[in-house]
């Protein structure tokens, strides 16, 4: 049933099939399973011809249908089963094509996985990855587009990892699989097409880190994650031309971000903006601001601000979607207002990035 | 609503309705490529039989709920075509104001209470609708349509149980097309698992048949609705059927190989329209002119609907804010 | 099976049986059901001899077993059934003895109830109350004590109401039942014993409000809810003796608090403390601070701070519990440090309140 | 582990174990009033039979998971008594480090993988444990214990399905005591609903009997474990039994009237200890001296366990922080 043959598996081994973020996830699966025989991969559609947007292509062929398998539509039982495997010496990775589907398994995620190590007094950890893909655009609508990363991040015992760039996607996924705790690994679907050639693949994953500083600057600090970091990175590049220094910290580890680096950066810039693709209310950006306040109150020149999604669901209509999601331009305009300056001809500068960030998902899936 | 034995008129009505629905769905599939209906779309082509068979036993004050694949149910129950098409186009005049798209249809004026996109999601909601009928001493009944995949969700069993405990006037209407997206039954359901046995084990009358067979689909639907109406107890119907196009989207995906040619050929040779034609012919009526008439009328309907849809205004985001709270 | 007889129903009607917060909830049920025949009440244990800590006592006798009933242990289906009733002309109230149990119904709460009105373009509202009781103390432990109010508050389309004082409990419960939206109504179990005599019961509930100012002061603003408001109120009373003016705003409507009053108060005091019985990370207090910042940045004399629960679960052991939960004293000490003053003999002053707030729940349930 | 026919030695072992467990549970109930075991506690008194019957067919490398009412399972499977009592006292030396209390027991050294407090919560987890046995080609099996109430949770059916699809070496072990807290079966399960029929409808071998009847409980447990061990397929066992004390806590609550005197009297007259005594006597052995011996030994065990528990240190909150992440 699999669309890949042994040949393309070989290509994957040689990086030849790796062109983008999605392929990077496939490579991380591949390498994790190759070097660690306890890693298992399953989920609805894991072995179907589309292999979860290609991210699981070739796995069943290579590792067999005991380690890689399709499942019933029983999210709660599948999560419980993954926990049972995790407490029995395996490292399962359960994939949801949409984050929204994981809501049927919240009992297992919150009441069991997140608390197991704690409630049994540190005796048995749960090395489990639940991989969730956020689908937005093409009318995914209210129940197929939810970006609940800040919501998962509220739960003690979970780690929530949200990579931005393809190579980080590869590495963080490897580290998440190797981590002894339950990790919610969230991919924004729009990142899947970002290019990467597979360079830098490793045998042994590193420990999960906290954040990456992806640009330096002394005028404003942005703390972001996932596609928010990509847009912020674009914004930082563009604003260089206006002599505005934007320091972007990609805080991919949502519950355990590096508050010291953030604080240091804010001490330097005196300004903080958080950029975050979840509803604004109680978002992760909100927490970052609250943690920075007692550390940097005297340094702050202006009030910290947030860019996030509106506090209501997204309607299916394209006309709603286009105003619902922010992009690089909104970050630039927010900085314009925070610095109380104007960036002449900014729209022209943005064009290049705008088109790249407009290269969104066009359905029907 | 029909409770008498099935007549030639029923056959003709059935035939007319499946032809209309298929014509509409085919038009949607064709026009989807223009990329103006920007939302995921799960077409019912091939599966029209069950939707029409059950709906023919219902009146407008009976209720129906459904899933991601609900066009046939919506239309068979009497849902407004223009509003459905407008919804696909994301317009303010859509049946869900442009907020829901193809996966979230509603037309309360005909008792179509809502279809949602999360597998199994409307099953317990339908139990609540049925309980409201019981509490208000209504004579009406509720039907909840879903695929065999949805029976894998725990909430299916939970709802069988409460429906049985509370004697709800509820029909669990399972369309078994053997697939969940590209996944066949094998990794999802044991061959020794039987949906009707599960419901029977909950104390629920259960009927099974072929949804592409006009006699079977109508007879079972009639038996079930009569039972639920009279006994005020739940019933489960499982009808086998087959979808012709890809799981989601307007194309045929037979080339990607998740279904065998043999299987596809079998089901296409057992097409519900062809079957209905044969049945009607055996009763001495020629179906061809009726088919043509229906197709023509429907094409006109479709053209009107698409025209109105494309002329309608888009909703503004400010409007969607107001939909957060009543 | 019911422990109450017709006589005590009569007593309830005459306020004679109303002694505390829990009775107030029973009275609100009673009045809502009496004046609105579409109100239904169900949940696990609703009609058992204990009637959910007495809060549903007498209802089945008075309103019959079609409107008041016990259920199977099927939280997800029961929530869906409540939604189905709500879209069909009824006003169901579903009760969970512990908030934790509602986690099995998150699909119905988040994917259905919270989005129904939105995703069908404002055609059909969902007048549903899901009542959750937070049980803490007596070793409820990691899975029977979760205070996830901030987590529910992240979800658009839900209202989250958390009363502090008995009369508010009565009124807010009535308003929640009358509200056309899905309301998560959360009671902290420790409040159930606070006394009230039922005075002020009404025929028609008012519209859901946003917050109550429960004390005035010009030195510091506290925004709190539920038992946090009770403790804050105690703290305000105690600190009066030290000539410290604490303005406490009980923001019982968690997603829709009155930011204008809060901002006005902070403009006056220049100091903000949030007090909140949920894990601190992304808590509601966090959101309040983030919303105040852009409005009151110039007014703030010191960085806003938060008191909340630690960011990990509570262990069962009494020795863990006693350090896990904060109380009036912790609020006083926090204010001491925020104002950079000392309150001599504060421990003596606290005694009276301490003992009252120590009157916690002692098991086994 | 025993797979041969049941012998007099089995009967004596069964009897000894139920007497030990009841003696322990009674001691806990008595001492609970001192308010030093500060956690909700669901005692097994009356329900010892099933736990012992199944555990006698298991060895230490077989796995077991359970629920809020797990003392009997934990003890029957070989869990450490002192660590259990210490857990109730909230001590660092408790089997869950004082973090879990009575509702969260674990003893990995004897294959007791964990009991949790959310109804139905461990059912799918047990499926994962069983799958790990399958993947690692182990000869062991997994048993998950739960009440009839837990079969009302959707995850029960979901797990029946996956266990059947994947041929897991898993026993669904249902103790049907007719109650969920104070709620009888009537509002929860239709009289036409049958747990064993539900599992059979999923293609799972299912056995039912009276858990207070020593012959039945042992025979069914042996049949099931033999089947699962040999066929590497799941099985469901439903054993009827009865709890004597209140749902949660150390007291008798017969006065509050949720159970009829007739019902209580029936079950007390069908007590598992009395039944076992009778059975042993019929085999020509006097049970009384054995009972006394066990009671005395157990009392000593209990005294030791309580002494050690009360001497052990409390965990500090700083320590609990470190339990958030491995
Ligand atoms: C809870 C949940 N899990 C997964 C999905 C993705 N999904 C959409 S449709 C579908 C298949 C459902 O199969 P079935 O119920 O048989 O309906 P069919 O598509 O065959 O009509 C799946 C898995 C979803 N929408 N919701
Ligand atoms: C999901 C969930 N809902 C409700 C409860 C409250 N509760 C604790 S034990 C119990 C009864 C369970 O009945 P059963 O499974 O038959 O076990 P028994 O207590 O009879 O041994 C309930 C409802 C819970 N712990 N978890
Ligand atoms: Mg299907
Ligand atoms: Mg029970």
Quick one: A230 and A148 in the same domain?
A: no
Task: Note the pLDDT of residue A4.
Answer: 53
Ligand nearest to the CA of B119: 1
Q: Cα separation of C352 and B47, whole Å?
A: 72
Confidence of residue C347 (pLDDT cuts 50, 70, 90): confident
Whether D130 and chain A come into contact, CB under 8 Å, resolves to yes
**Interface membership of C70 toward D (CB under 8 Å):** yes
Q: Where are the alpha helices (DSSP H) in chain A?
A: 6-13, 21-35, 59-63, 75-86, 106, 114-119, 149-153, 166-178, 226-240, 259-269, 284-296, 318-324, 328-339, 346-358
Whether A73 is in a domain gets the answer yes
Instruction: Choose one of C139, C158, C191: the last residue of a domain.
Output: C191
Task: Return the ∠ at Cα C254 (arms to C251 and C258), rounded to 5°.
Answer: 50
CA-nearest of A100, A102, A291, A92 to A176 is A92
Check whether A357 has a pLDDT greater than 70: no
- pLDDT of D103 reads 98
pLDDT at C358: 46
**pLDDT tens digits, C145-186:** 999 999 999 999 999 999 999 999 999 999 999 999 999 999
What is d(CA D55, CA D237) in angstroms, rounded to the nearest whole number? 13
Inter-chain residue contact A311 with C143, CB threshold 8 Å: no
Residues C175 and C239 in one domain: no
| Residue C228 within any structural domain of the chain | yes
pLDDT of residue B87: 98
Number of A–C residue contacts, CB under 8 Å: 131
Using a CB-CB distance cutoff of 8 angstroms, which residues of chain C are in contact with residue D323? 312, 315
Interface-testing mutation among C105, C317, C319, C324, with chain D (most D C-beta atoms within 10 A): C317
Of A157, A191, A225, which closes a domain?
A: A191
Q: How far is D69 from chain A (nearest CA, A)?
A: 16
Q: How confident is the model at residue A355 (pLDDT cuts 50, 70, 90)?
A: low
- On whether both A11 and A160 belong to a single domain, the answer is yes
Evaluate whether residue B52 is within a structural domain. yes
pLDDT band at A7 (very low <50, low <70, confident <90, very high): low
Domain identity same for C21 and C104:
yes
Tokens of B293: 């008439």
- Is A280 part of any domain? yes
- Strand ranges of the sheet holding C183-188, from the earlier edge strand across to the other edge: C68-69, C39-42, C91-96, C129-134, C183-188, C159-161
**Per-position DSSP letters for D95-138, written without gaps between them:** TTTTSSGGGS--BGGGTEEEE-SSTTTHHHHHHHHHHHHHHTT-
Cβ-Cβ contacts under 8 Å, B68 against chain A: none
CB of C281 within 8 Å of a chain D CB? The answer is no
What is the four-CA torsion angle of D144, D146, D151, D157, rounded to 10 degrees?
-10
For A270-317, how does the pLDDT look when each residue is reduced to its tens digit (9 = 90+)?
999 999 999 999 999 999 999 999 999 999 999 999 999 999 999 999
Q: Collect all residues of chain A within an 8 Å Cβ-Cβ radius of residue B41.
A: 364
Please give the structure tokens belonging to residue C296. Answer: 């009151």
CB pairs under 8 A between B and C: 144
Look-up: residue for tokens 């199977």?
Answer: C72
Contact state of B192 with D198 under an 8 Å Cβ cutoff? no
Domain check: are C164 and C268 in the same one?
no
Domain count, chain D: 1
For residues D193 and B202, the answer to whether their CB atoms sit within 8 Å is yes
Which chain B residues have a beta carbon less than 8 Å from that of D165? 187-190, 193
Domain that holds residue D216: 8-303
C58 inside domain:
yes
Q: In this structure, are C16 and C116 located in the same domain?
A: yes
Share of chain A above pLDDT 90, in %: 90
Averaged confidence pLDDT in chain A:
94
Task: Look up the CATH number of the domain holding residue D16.
Answer: 3.40.50.970
The pLDDT tens digits of the residues spanning A246-270 come to 999 999 999 999 999 999 999 999 9
Give me the number of domains chain C comprises: 2
| Closest C-alpha among C99, C361, C354 to residue D39 | C361
**What confidence tier does C13 reach under pLDDT thresholds 50, 70, 90?**
confident
Q: Which parts of chain B have pLDDT scores under 50? A: 1-2
In a domain, A202, yes or no: no
Q: What is the DSSP letter of A100?
A: G
Residue C324 placed within a domain: yes
Alpha-carbon distances of C14 from A320, C26, C198, rounded to whole Å: 53, 13, 9
The answer to whether residues C167 and C227 belong to one domain is no
> A287 and C284: CB-CB below 8 Å?
no
pLDDT in tens, D174-216: 999 999 999 999 999 999 999 999 999 999 999 999 999 999 9
The CATH code of the domain that includes A271 is: 3.40.50.920
At D125-140, the pLDDT tens digits run: 999 999 999 999 999 9
Interface test with D, best of B119, B148, B154 (most D CBs within 10 A): B154
Phi/psi at C39 (nearest 5 deg)?
A: -80, 130
Asked if D97 and D46 count as a contact pair (C-beta separation under 8 A), the reply is no
Q: Which of A340-354, C86-100, D73-87 has the lowest mean pLDDT?
A: A340-354
Residue C199 in any domain: the answer is no
Instruction: Kindly indicate the confidence band of residue A349, based on its pLDDT and cuts at 50, 70 and 90.
Output: confident
- In this prediction the pTM is 0.97
- Token look-up 């317009």 returns B91
D288-319 pLDDT, tens digit per residue, is 999 999 999 999 999 999 999 999 999 999 99
- Examine the pLDDT at A352 and tell me if it is beyond 90: no
Task: Compute the distance between CA of residue A22 and CA of residue C287 in angstroms, rounded to an integer.
Answer: 34
Domain region containing C10: 6-191
User: Per residue in D147-166, pLDDT tens?
Assistant: 999 999 999 999 999 999 99
pLDDT digit string (tens) for A52-92? 999 999 999 999 999 999 999 999 999 999 999 999 999 99
pLDDT for the residue numbered B3: 53
- The bound ligand whose nearest atom lies closest to the alpha carbon of A72 is 1
Average pLDDT over residues A34-38: 97
Measured distance CA(B25)–CA(B51) in Å, rounded: 14
Does residue D321 belong to any structural domain of this protein? no
Q: How confident is the model at residue C1 (pLDDT cuts 50, 70, 90)?
A: very low
Classify residue C198: in a domain, yes or no. no
Q: Which residues contact ligand 2 via a Cβ below 6 A? A: C 44, 73, 75, 101, 104; D 68-69, 117-119, 146-150, 177, 179-181, 247
Is D319 part of any domain? no
How many other C-beta atoms are found inside a 10 Å radius of the C-beta of residue B249?
17
């Amino acid at each position: 049933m699999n669309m890949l043959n042994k040949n393309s598996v070989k290509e994957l081994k040689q990086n030849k099939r790796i062109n983008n973020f999605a392929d990077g996830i496939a490579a991380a699966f591949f390498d994790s399973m190759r070097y660690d025989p306890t890693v298992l991969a399953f989920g609805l559609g894991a072995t179907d011809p589309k292999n979860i947007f290609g991210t699981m292509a070739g796995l069943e062929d290579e590792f067999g249908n005991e380690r890689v398998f399709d499942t019933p539509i029983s999210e709660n039982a599948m999560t419980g089963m993954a926990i049972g495997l995790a407490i029995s010496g395996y490292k399962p990775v359960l994939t949801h094509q949409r984050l929204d589907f994981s809501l049927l398994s919240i009992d297992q995620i919150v009441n069991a996985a997140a608390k197991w190590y704690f409630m049994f007094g540190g005796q048995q950890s749960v090395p489990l990855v639940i991989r969730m893909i956020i689908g937005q655009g093409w009318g995914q609508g209210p129940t197929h587009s939810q970006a609940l990363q800040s919501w998962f991040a509220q739960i003690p015992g979970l780690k929530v990892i949200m990579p931005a760039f393809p190579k980080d996607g590869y590495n963080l996924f490897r580290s998440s699989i190797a981590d002894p705790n339950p990790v919610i690994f969230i991919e924004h679907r729009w990142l899947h097409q970002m290019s990467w050639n597979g360079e830098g693949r490793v045998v042994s994953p590193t420990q999960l880190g906290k954040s990456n500083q992806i640009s330096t600057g002394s005028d404003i600090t942005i703390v972001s994650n996932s596609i928010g970091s990509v847009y912020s990175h674009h914004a930082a590049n563009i604003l260089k031309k206006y002599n505005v220094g934007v320091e972007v910290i990609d805080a991919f580890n949502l519950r355990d971000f590096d508050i010291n680096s953030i604080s240091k950066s804010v001490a330097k810039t005196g300004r903080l903006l958080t950029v975050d693709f979840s509803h604004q209310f109680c978002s992760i950006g909100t927490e970052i601001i609250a943690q920075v306040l007692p550390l940097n109150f005297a340094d702050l020149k202006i009030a910290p601000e947030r860019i996030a999604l509106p506090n209501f669901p997204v309607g299916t209509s394209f006309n709603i979607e286009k105003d619902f999601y922010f992009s690089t331009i909104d970050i630039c305009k927010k900085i314009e207002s925070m610095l109380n300056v104007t960036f002449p001809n900014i729209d022209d500068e943005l064009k290049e990035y705008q088109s790249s960030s407009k290269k969104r998902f066009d359905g029907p899936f | 609503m029909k409770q008498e034995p099935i007549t030639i008129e029923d056959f003709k009505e059935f035939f007319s309705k499946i032809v209309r629905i298929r014509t509409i769905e085919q038009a949607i599939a064709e026009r989807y490529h223009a990329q103006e209906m920007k939302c995921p779309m799960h077409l019912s082509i091939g599966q029209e039989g069950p939707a029409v068979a059950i709906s023919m036993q219902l009146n407008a004050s009976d209720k129906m709920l459904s899933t991601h694949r609900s066009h046939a149910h919506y239309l068979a129950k009497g849902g407004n075509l223009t509003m459905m098409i407008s919804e696909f186009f994301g317009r303010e005049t859509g049946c869900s104001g442009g907020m829901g798209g193809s996966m979230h249809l509603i037309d309360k004026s005909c008792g179509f209470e809502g279809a949602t996109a999360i597998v199994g999601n409307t099953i317990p909601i339908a139990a609540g609708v049925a309980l409201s009928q019981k509490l208000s001493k209504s004579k009406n009944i509720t039907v909840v349509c879903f695929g065999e995949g949805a029976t894998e969700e725990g909430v299916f069993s939970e709802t069988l149980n409460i429906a049985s405990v509370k004697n709800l006037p509820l029909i669990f209407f399972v369309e078994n097309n053997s697939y969940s997206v590209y996944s066949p039954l094998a990794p999802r359901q044991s061959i020794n698992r039987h949906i009707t046995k599960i419901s029977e084990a909950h104390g629920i009358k259960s009927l099974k048949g072929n949804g592409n067979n006009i006699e079977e689909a109508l007879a079972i639907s009639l038996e079930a609705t009569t039972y639920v109406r009279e006994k005020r107890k739940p019933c489960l119907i499982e009808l086998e059927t087959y979808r012709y196009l890809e799981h989601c989207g307007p194309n045929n995906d037979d080339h990607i190989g998740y279904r065998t040619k043999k299987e596809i050929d079998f089901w296409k040779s057992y097409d519900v329209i062809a079957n209905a034609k044969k049945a009607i012919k055996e009763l001495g009526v020629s179906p061809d002119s009726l088919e043509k008439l229906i197709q023509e009328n429907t094409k006109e309907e479709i053209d009107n609907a698409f025209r109105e849809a494309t002329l309608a205004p888009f909703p503004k985001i400010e409007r969607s804010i107001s939909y957060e709270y009543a």
